[in-house]
Amino acid sequence: MYCTAICPYCVRAERLLLQKQVSVQKIRVDLEPEQLEIMMQRSGRRTVPQIFIDETHVGGCDDLYALEQRGELDALLEDH
10-residue mean pLDDT series, the chain (80 residues): 97 98 96 97 97 96 98 92
Is this prediction's pTM over 0.75?
yes
d(CA 19, CA 46): 26
List the domains of the chain with CATH numbers: 2-79 (3.40.30.10)
pLDDT of residue 79: 83
pLDDT of residue 34: 97
Strand 27-28 and strand 56-59: pairing?
Answer: unpaired
Q: CA–CA distance from 2 to each of 7, 38, 62, 69, 80 (Å)?
A: 11, 10, 15, 22, 18
pLDDT of residue 80: 77
